[in-house]
Amino acid sequence: MSFENVRHAPKAPIIRGLLHNFPDGLTVSEICTKTFIDSRVVRTCLKKMADCYIDRWLLGKHQKPPEAVWCVADVPQNCPKPSNRKTKE
């Protein structure tokens, strides 16, 4: 009998999967609402993930700071290194 400890599971794959389902992007608060992950953990994960980027900023209302909208980039499975040979034209 095995119990999966969800609390200590890696959060980056969860966040990445969620952002793939929302191609228009999500804010940190929206990610927290959908995954029930703490905002500090979400911010740390997003900063460490190489395929996530800030797409745009939403202006805050009632003296709240602007909020970043995060998106995930589509990284190809096979990206071969270019050769050093120059082609003659």
| Model confidence, pTM | 0.74
Angstrom distance (rounded) from CA 12 to CA 62: 32
Question: In which domain, by residue range, is 28 found?
Answer: 10-72
Summarize pLDDT for 4-24 with one digit per residue, the tens.
556 777 899 999 999 999 999
In this structure, is residue 1 part of a structural domain? no
Q: Is residue 57 part of a domain?
A: yes
Q: Is the residue at 56 inside a domain?
A: yes
pLDDT in tens, 36-50: 999 999 999 999 998
Edge-first strand listing for the sheet containing 26-27: 26-27, 67-72, 52-58
Q: How many structural domains is the chain composed of?
A: 1
User: Is residue 41 in some structural domain?
Assistant: yes
